[in-house]
Amino acid sequence: MFEFEPVARKTVPPAHFGYMASGVDDEVTLRANREGFLKFQLRPRRLVDVSKVDMSTEILGVKFDTPIIVAPVGGQKAFYTGGEIPVAKAAKVGNHLQILSTVTTSSVEEVTAARGAPIWYQLYATNKWEIAKAFVTRAEKAGCLAIAVTVDRNGGRNQETLTRLQRTDTRECSACHDRSSMEANLRRRPMYDGVDVTGLTSGQSSAMTWDFFKRLRDTTKMKIVIKGILAHEDAKLAADAGIDAIIVSNHGARAEDSGRSTIDALPEIVEAVGGRMPILIDSGFRRGTDIAKALCMGAQGVCIGRPYIWGLGAFGQPGVERVLELLRIELRTIMQQLGAPSIKHLTPAMVRRA
């Protein structure tokens, strides 16, 4: 799978590749997300019949063939013509849950049609409630099953790697961006069509509190998911508030440079939740063994971001299909080696801290 990245680097414009590949500040968290898996070891069991392996799982009442989830990534037409549409078609092939970004370059209606099944919609809430309400209403009308609210982008971010790569890209990228103002830039996004963005200076909210979710619950019948939890205190508050699921995430190391991997944060969050709601996780997952560790530790699903974008940038839909297929193959292999014929057989006893 790692061979897709250098191919994508050659085919995707430098500024676009940098948007996908970079972290923030010194990128300590970007490295920590990979190194975090080294802190945990697998404990395989023997003499178990694993001639047949069932990787299917149920998330919020819907069955999928795999716990591998297509994470929300914005602006996918920056990486390949068609953007989110070939990704949706690839997700359909493997029956993966797909989560669509607020800053998608294809509409939620188009992506849902291409996926051929309901998806989740990821929400960036601005400081204007009416904008969030418009997104939620549209997503629900399109048949989305859940709204995944990102809570880890409260302010700006210092992406030095991206800035360096942008210097090497001499194109006038007006096809993707309008840097004249935030309003002009957002109006290029399909989900902002017909939405009043007058006076908006940021695509994210710096004032969101738990009150937002009370208001959201009164607005939609969709399941409500919080994306961006890293502390057990917040996980407990989410469970207490009746949130339907959470995603343990550090935004792929693109929010703050905390230096803490999501896999390291997972155990305390699982303990705090106590089985009251599903826990998903993302950030840094590249191997079937990474996925297996998270599932053993209590996650119900693992969201994949950069790897499928490598596949998209390199080869379009076939590239995305192959990346997801490789992850499924690796997960099936490690499940056999662990003595786990199904997802439910991946237990905490199969992993230990190194």
Active site residues: 251
* CA dist 61 → 58, 244, 245 (Å): 6, 11, 12
18 C-beta neighbours (distance < 10 Å), count: 21
Helix axes 317-338, 4-11, angle to 10 degrees: 160
Residue where the block lists tokens 């399941």: 223
Which H or E run includes 148? strand 146-150
Report the C-alpha gap between 11 and 198 in whole angstroms: 36
Rounded (5°) CA angle 46-50-51: 135
Token output for 61: 């009442």
Under 8 Å between Cβ of 342 and 47: no
Burial of 79 (0-12, 13-18, 19+ CB in 10 A): buried
